[in-house]
Structures are given as structure tokens and as C-alpha cells.
Amino acid sequence: MSSSLSHRRVEVAMGDEKYGPKVGRQWSVSKPVEYVLREQRLVFVLVGMAMTSLFFVFLQPVSRGPDRSVPDSTSVGVGGYGGGAFGTEKALEKAPYWQQQSAIVNLGGKIPLGLQRKALRIVVTGGAGFVGSHLVDRLIERGDSVIVVDNFFTGRKENVMHHFGNPRFELIRHDVVEPLLLEVDQIYHLACPASPVHYKFNPIKTIKTNVVGTLNMLGLAKRIGARFLLTSTSEVYGDPLEHPQKETYWGNVNPIGVRSCYDEGKRTAETLAMDYHRGAGVQVRIARIFNTYGPRMCIDDGRVVSNFVAQALRKEPMTVYGDGKQTRSFQYVSDLVEGLMRLMEGEHVGPFNLGNPGEFTMLELAEVVKQVIDPSATIEYKENTSDDPHKRKPDISKAKELLGWEPKVALRKGLPLMVEDFRKRIFGDHKEKGTVNSVNM
Ligand code: NAD
Ligand code: UDP
């Protein structure tokens, strides 16, 4: 025992000598200088420094992050970037920063090839739904990373499964009425059933989703400094007494009716968004969406466009509620997605009406569906639901002026695209292909 201890002491002593400070060596200034000058080391250091400086000089214009300093509520000026062309530097300054980035990449060839704008990380709540899934497609296409948060109440994995396996796409099954912590730059908050049949199915859940869900997502935005976009609705105008509806109109909403869970829920969500903006400095954006249609709508969600299209395809009568003289304005989904992205990237809080101002009675809509799908389709009248708004049509001058946005797809152009999708999903293949009538605008 004693011999092993003494042996270890010897080892330690030897180790100390090997790795300890070298005693007796003199330090002088000339030694490091000589070292640097030897074997052209100085030349390599200087070349390295020059290359690094050049790299940062070129990188600077494209590595700018989003300009968070713009005071949303006080910002002025017209976008001037509609159509994606940047005529002047002034117009470029006013464009959303992601458009600035792509424009900068194209300016003067100063930027090294391959450098892009900074990709963002974005949450889309309700991203497996109809509108959300189209938005996700555009964001992924733009080069961003997207996290979809959805409880699949009305959404479907099929709507986003073409992104499975893409490292820039994530899907989380989560109900927004429960808190969630994620690190992202932007939050598009869409989670909420949109069809009257779906939102009336469990009205308490609908109002909880709109109030508690929105509160949770605003809390997240505040905590992580993310920009937040709320998808509100034209329903905030209720059964409007002003026509067409401007954003300044406060609405005519029944607070205790069967639609109130949705209408009042969205009105409260707008209130929450504005209070987080004014009170907590959260950068919010509010879109008031008017009736939207397109591929991936739930086939049996009870909305008028999906009902008429599915009924005409199945050779069933189209169900017109009431006298069919009530009006709506129908927007194709790609127009809406463009509007949402411009709103998110722009400088203005809103609210903004996003809808197609073309106004149709339900009987006129049935006529268009007949022309597009089947001229022999018939109509069946049914009792209308309570509190059904008599008319609806957006005034979109604010979005035109401040976002440089207006819809491009007319009903007669958009409907055949939706019909194609419904046909595949209803019949499982391309059966009856060719019965879609091509209708001139
Ligand atoms: P949708 O029903 O197809 O999509 C809503 C999505 O939200 C679905 O994927 C659903 O599963 C999900 N969702 C619902 N409750 C949730 C919850 N508690 N937690 C997590 N996910 C939840 O509807 P949509 O037409 O795509 O509408 C999207 C948004 O746009 C909604 O907020 C809606 O109010 C708004 N909006 C739509 C229209 C329209 O015509 N489509 C009009 C006005 C407003
Ligand atoms: N509607 C109809 N037939 C249907 C479904 C709806 O006539 O099969 C009418 C409904 O009464 C309303 C309009 O179409 O006046 C739009 O209804 P939808 O549910 O699509 O959306 P809303 O604008 O009411 O949210």
C-alpha cells in the first residue's frame, strides 16, 4: 500500500514537470515577431483579413433583418409595389421587406450569387384547413420555414401532406385554446372553423377558440416579439346596414343569436389584437375576410359554394335557402392568400377588407354553377337559417391604396379550378372529365 502511494507521488511529480510552467525560459518581444515573420505567416494573415472584409462588405445589404422599427399605427404612404415591379428606390423603401430583399438581390449585380433574403420561421395556426394550407404552400415556395399548428377539427392532413419530408415544414397537432411556446418571426392565426355548420356545431368551443385561442397566440407573439396576423371576418359587420361595407363601419350584430359565437368571437379577437398592439406593443395585422372558395374546401361543410358544386356534380338539386335573393361576394383563395401576405409584410395594422367586390345573389350563383358544371342542374328551395345577413360586399379601397392589392380571379375563372378538385375528391378519379363547361368571363 505504502509503496503504491509513493509510486503515485513520483508519477505526479513527473507529470508536473511535463505540463507545468517551464522554469528558467526567458520571454522576449522579438520571439513572437520572429515567429510571425517566418514562413510567410504574415502574408497569410493579411490575405485572410482582406478576404473577410470583402465578404462582409458584400454581405451587408442582404443580411438585413425585418425592419421592426416601423411604427405600425402611425405609418403613412401608399405601398406602390403592386405587381412586383420596383420603379424607384422610394417605391422599394415602402415595399414589404421580403420584397425589398428579393429586389436588392436583383440590383446592380453587387450581391454574390446564391445569397437570398433571410428566411423566416412562421407559424400558421389552422394551417391544415382550406385557406391555411394554400397560405402554407406560398410561404414554403417563398423559402420560409413553416410550422402548422392544427387540431384537425375541420382541417385535414391531406391538405399539407405534400410538404411531409420537407425539412422546412413541421406539423403539430395542438389545440390553440391550450398555451404553446415556439420561437418564430411571424404568426398567421387562422385556427377557427369558418363554415356556419361547423362553427354552430359546438358554439362554446367556437367562442373559446376565438377568445382563449387568440389570447394564447397573442401572448406568444408578445413573448417572442413575433408579428401577428388575425384572420377576422366580414361577419363582424353582421347583417349590415351600410352597403358596401367599409372598415369604418361598426356593424349590426346580434350578440345573442346562433351566429354570435363566431361573429362576436371574431369581434372580441379583433379587440384583443388591438389591445395587445396598443398596450403591449405587439405588431398586429387584422384581415376581415369575405366569402372565399377554392380547391381543398371541405366538401360537405354546408357553405353555399361547396354545397352547390358538390350537389351539381352529384346530380342533386342545388339547395337555395330562403328566396335566394340574399347576396355575397366570392373571392378565389389565391387572391386572399396574396392579400394576407401583403398585409403581414406591410406597414399597416388594418383592419383591411379582403374580398372580391363582385356581388351575386344565391340564385345568380346557382346560375353560374349550372353554366360551369351542368346546364341541366336544378334548384330546390329550403328554409333559411336565422340571422342570415341579407347582403354583403366589401369596399376594398383601403386595401387597394395601402396594400396595392385587389383580387384578380373572377368567379367564372375560379369556379372551374375548384370543380376539378371536387370532382377528383367526390368521384376518386377524373370521371366525367370534360363536363366542366369553359365559360368566358
Ligand atoms: P377551415 O375550417 O378550413 O380551417 C380552419 C382550420 O383551423 C382547420 O384546419 C381546423 O382544424 C383548425 N382549427 C379549428 N379550431 C382549432 C383549434 N381550437 N385549435 C387548432 N386548430 C383549430 O376554415 P378556412 O376557410 O380555412 O378559414 C380560415 C380562417 O379564415 C378562419 O379563422 C376563418 O374564420 C377565416 N375566414 C374564412 C372565410 C372563408 O370564406 N373561408 C371567411 C372569413 C373568415
Ligand atoms: N346558402 C344557400 N344554400 C346552401 C348554403 C347556403 O342558399 O346550400 C346561403 C346562405 O343562406 C347564405 C349564403 O348562402 O345566405 C352564404 O352562406 P355560407 O354558409 O356559404 O356563408 P356565410 O356568408 O353565411 O357565412
State percent of the chain over pLDDT 70: 76
Residue whose cell numbers read 406602390: 80
Query: 76 versus 306: which is more confidently predicted?
Result: 306
Q: What φ, ψ does residue 285 adopt, rounded to 5°? A: -135, 135
Report the C-alpha gap between 441 and 439 in whole angstroms: 6
* Residues 114-167: tens digit of each pLDDT: 556 789 999 999 999 999 999 999 999 999 999 999 999 999 999 999 999 999
Residue 147 inside a domain? The answer is yes
CA of 385 to the centre of ligand 2 (A): 9
Cβ-contact 411, 308 below 8 angstroms? no
Report the C-alpha gap between 363 and 379 in whole angstroms: 9
Tell me which of 195, 304, 318, 330 to substitute to probe ligand 2's pocket, judged by most ligand atoms within 8 Å of the beta carbon: 304
Mean pLDDT of 222-235: 98
Check whether residue 176 and residue 84 sit in a common domain.
no
Tell me which of 199, 311, 362 to substitute to probe ligand 2's pocket, judged by most ligand atoms within 8 Å of the beta carbon: 362
**What pLDDT score does 208 carry?**
98
Residue 347 inside a domain? The answer is yes
431's CB contacts (< 8 A; 6+ apart) are 423
Q: Which residues pair with 180 in a beta bridge?
A: none
Taking 80 as the threshold, does the pLDDT of residue 342 lie above it? yes
Question: Tell me, what CATH number does 166's domain have?
Answer: 3.40.50.720
Residue 363 inside a domain? The answer is no
Query: 332 versus 438: which is more confidently predicted?
Result: 332
Task: Report the candidate in 296, 292, 317, 314 with the shortest Cα–Cα distance to residue 305.
Answer: 292
Residue 143 inside a domain? The answer is yes
> Ligand 1 pocket: which residues have CB below 6 Å?
125-126, 128-132, 150-155, 175-177, 190-194, 198, 209, 213, 231, 233, 289, 291-292
Task: Report the candidate in 130, 132, 266 with the shortest Cα–Cα distance to residue 206.
Answer: 266
Taking 50 as the threshold, does the pLDDT of residue 109 lie above it? no
The number of the ligand 1 atom at minimal distance from the alpha carbon of 235 is 43
Question: pTM of the full predicted structure?
Answer: 0.78
Check whether residue 113 and residue 142 sit in a common domain.
no
Peptide bond into 244 cis (omega under 30): yes
CA angle (89 as vertex; 88, 95 as ends), nearest 5:
95
Average pLDDT, rounded, for the chain: 82
Check whether residue 136 and residue 206 sit in a common domain.
yes
Number of domains in the chain: 2
Rg of the Cα atoms in the chain: 30
Check whether residue 112 and residue 259 sit in a common domain.
no
Report the C-alpha gap between 234 and 263 in whole angstroms: 9
**What pLDDT score does 422 carry?**
96
pLDDT range class, residue 9, cuts 50, 70, 90:
very low
Report the C-alpha gap between 103 and 365 in whole angstroms: 41
pLDDT range class, residue 4, cuts 50, 70, 90:
very low
| Domain hosting residue 169, numbered range | 121-297+332-357+393-411
Nearest ligand to the CA atom of 361: 2
Query: 289 versus 118: which is more confidently predicted?
Result: 289
Task: Report the candidate in 418, 308, 287, 410 with the shortest Cα–Cα distance to residue 359.
Answer: 410
For residue 123, the surrounding DSSP H or E stretch is: strand 121-125
Check whether residue 138 and residue 89 sit in a common domain.
no
pLDDT range class, residue 112, cuts 50, 70, 90:
low
Residue 345 inside a domain? The answer is yes
Check whether residue 189 and residue 94 sit in a common domain.
no
Cβ-contact 359, 411 below 8 angstroms? no
pLDDT range class, residue 58, cuts 50, 70, 90:
low
Check whether residue 200 and residue 247 sit in a common domain.
yes
Check whether residue 222 and residue 342 sit in a common domain.
yes
CA of 129 to the centre of ligand 1 (A): 6
Residue 222 inside a domain? The answer is yes
Cβ-contact 330, 365 below 8 angstroms? yes
**What pLDDT score does 43 carry?**
80
Check whether residue 265 and residue 231 sit in a common domain.
yes
Nearest alpha carbon, ligand 2 atom 14: 304
Check whether residue 157 and residue 99 sit in a common domain.
no
Q: How far is CA 24 from CA 17, 21, 27, 33, 146, in A?
A: 13, 9, 10, 21, 63
Nearest alpha carbon, ligand 2 atom 4: 304
Nearest ligand to the CA atom of 199: 1
Cβ-contact 65, 118 below 8 angstroms? yes
19-33, 178-192, 283-297: segment of lowest average pLDDT: 19-33
CA of 170 to the centre of ligand 2 (A): 34
The number of the ligand 2 atom at minimal distance from the alpha carbon of 307 is 8
**What pLDDT score does 368 carry?**
96
Residue whose cell numbers read 347583417: 239
CA of 358 to the centre of ligand 2 (A): 16
* Residues 247-265: tens digit of each pLDDT: 999 999 999 999 999 999 9
**What pLDDT score does 26 carry?**
60
Taking 60 as the threshold, does the pLDDT of residue 72 lie above it? no
Determine the longest span between alpha carbons in the chain, in angstroms.
108
Q: Identify the sign of the CA torsion 174, 179, 182, 183.
A: positive
How many beta carbons lie within 10 A of that of residue 202, not counting itself?
Answer: 14
Nearest alpha carbon, ligand 1 atom 37: 194
Q: What φ, ψ does residue 321 adopt, rounded to 5°? A: -85, 140
Nearest alpha carbon, ligand 2 atom 1: 304
Query: 29 versus 165: which is more confidently predicted?
Result: 165
Residue 127 inside a domain? The answer is yes
Report the C-alpha gap between 353 and 333 in whole angstroms: 14
Taking 70 as the threshold, does the pLDDT of residue 431 lie above it? no
Taking 90 as the threshold, does the pLDDT of residue 32 lie above it? no
Q: Which residues pair with 357 in a beta bridge?
A: none
Q: How far apart are the first and last CA of the chain?
A: 101
Report the C-alpha gap between 210 and 192 in whole angstroms: 7
Nearest alpha carbon, ligand 2 atom 12: 388
Residues labelled catalytic: 262
Nearest ligand to the CA atom of 265: 1
Report the C-alpha gap between 231 and 209 in whole angstroms: 13
* Residues 167-182: tens digit of each pLDDT: 999 999 999 999 999 9
CA angle (366 as vertex; 363, 369 as ends), nearest 5:
155
Check whether residue 100 and residue 143 sit in a common domain.
no
Is any ligand 2 atom within 6 A of the Cβ of residue 362?
yes
Residue 218 inside a domain? The answer is yes
State percent of the chain over pLDDT 90: 70
Angle between helices 304-313 and 411-427 (to 10 degrees): 60
Mean pLDDT of 265-276: 98
How many beta carbons lie within 10 A of that of residue 292, not counting itself?
Answer: 25
Tell me which of 135, 153, 285 to substitute to probe ligand 1's pocket, judged by most ligand atoms within 8 Å of the beta carbon: 153
Q: What φ, ψ does residue 281 adopt, rounded to 5°? A: 70, 20
Report the C-alpha gap between 70 and 66 in whole angstroms: 10
Within a 13 Å sphere around the CA of 333, how many CA atoms are in the beta-carbon half?
A: 19
CA of 155 to the centre of ligand 1 (A): 8
Task: Report the candidate in 368, 365, 384, 364 with the shortest Cα–Cα distance to residue 323.
Answer: 384
Is any ligand 2 atom within 6 A of the Cβ of residue 268?
no
Read off the amino acid at residue 16.
Answer: D
Check whether residue 100 and residue 214 sit in a common domain.
no
* Residues 181-219: tens digit of each pLDDT: 999 999 999 999 999 999 999 999 999 999 999 999 999
23-37, 78-92, 350-364: segment of lowest average pLDDT: 78-92
At which of 58, 87, 117 does a domain end? 117
The number of the ligand 2 atom at minimal distance from the alpha carbon of 291 is 23
* Residues 369-420: tens digit of each pLDDT: 999 999 999 999 999 999 999 999 999 999 999 999 999 999 999 999 999 9
Peptide bond into 351 cis (omega under 30): yes
